[in-house]
Structure 1
Amino acid sequence: MDDLDDDLRRLFSDDRLDVHSTSVSTELVVRGAARRRHRRAAVAGTFALVAVVGAGIGVSRFEMPAPDSTVGALLTTAVSVTTTPPPPPSTSTVISTATVTVGQPPNSNGGNTGKPDPGGTSRSSSKTSTPPTPESQPGRYGTLSLGMSEADALATGSLVEPSSPADPDNRCKAYATKSVPDANAVIVSPARGIVRITMPNYAKTPKNVGAGSQVSEVKAAYTNSIQSGSSVTAQISASPPWSYIFETDGAVVTTVFMRLNANDCATV
């Protein structure tokens, strides 16, 4: 144990094991420290300058504009709104047509001078009058009509039964009606149906002729009428053809019949 201690003391006391440091002058150390301080100061100054410049730029960018510039900016950046112009007002077009009557060229007789009519109206040429045609109307009174069969006439309920012979051969039949109590008011042929109808005394024809009318009135109303004795016959254009028979006392109508022209009853 003592030997170990002795060895350790010899080892530590050996000069060969000492570490010798290079001699450094005090001035060199001071200059090195000064350079480091200058570098730090320069770096700090650079950072400060950059910070100041950046702050200046930020302040200049965020500087509030003047009122005039604000208005300009608002006007510049305003959202454009597309406005649709109102539709044009509706207009109505009125077209007036003027009719000018031009005079006809002069005729061969020189009666027309070719000038317009002073009254402003054109002269219409006179139409050639045509002779009146016979009256056209159905041979009907009430529910009964000429040519109607006996069965159809009875079905109307206008005939009063029983019938009576209308001729000596007992071929045609005669009926009274509800409006004319005469037994011979309606004459019916078995082949042609009703061949005669007696109109009531109060009835009038479409031309306002009836019992009580003057013969002259009958002839004026029916210009194609033919008088034979006391009877005046006015033929009517219809299908089948028939006639008015105006029985008179010579001056005034007493009875009016409607008669089928093609009848086969002897007494009609």
Structure 2
Amino acid sequence: MSIDDQLDAELRRLFADDRLDLRPRADAGGTIVSGARRVRRRRAVLTSGGGVMAVAVLVAGGVLLTGERHRPEVPLAEPPAPTQFSSQLPPAPVVPPGPTQSAPESSPAAPPHPSSPPEEVPSKKATPPPRSGKAPVYGPELEPVGYGRLRLGMSPEEAAASGVVLEGAGGEGCVTYKATSGTPSVASVIVSPNLGTVFIDPAGSVRTPKGIGTGSTREEVYAAYPGTSTGRGTDLHLVAPAGNGASFVMDLNTDGTVADLNLERNDQDCYG
């Protein structure tokens, strides 16, 4: 077999090798053959075995040359942008504990003593003032000078001129009337022919300007009016000074509380 036939067979064997996954150019064979012939002419003294090795070297060089020509061009990476320094300092790095360090174990909170009572929180609400114990008295006020528009000393005509309606037959001497208008409530009225109205007995619950009235105790009456005295020979009848020449006359219940409150002139001349 000639050297050309050996070269051709070797080339076919090399190109058929499955390990070569590169595809040579269409004119790669002619280029390699021309190069091999030039080498063969230069090295005619070499034996057939040496020629075959030379051809193998040239084939490998051609494969490398082909790979270099077909290698895709990779664009150069752009240089990184200059770093912009911030005026703020970076946060301090957190250094984890070393292998010999251990975080301190938190001791569990001790449970409260079972016998200890819970702590009381003082209330922010205002404490109401202590009550005096005296029950409030409700009802219209019976003044030391009269009741509503009716005044002590008024005659029936003067009472009518003030808007007070006195119902009654009239007559000589002291007369009892019923005031149905001009007073906070209906009231029995005694009129003297000499002194005018001398006694007013309101119906229902009334109170004095000092808060004494129906339901007040004997002690409360004496405390509000220190000059109070008993009358008509019994301690269930009290007379408290009202001022302006008048008195509050009270009848008491058997338990000592006020049952009825009246107003009379101290100089009345209609009864004893």
Structure of larger gyration radius:
1
Name the TM tier (shorter chain): 0.3 to 0.5
Structure 2 length-normalised TM: 0.41
Query: Which structure's residues are more often helix, by fraction?
Result: 1
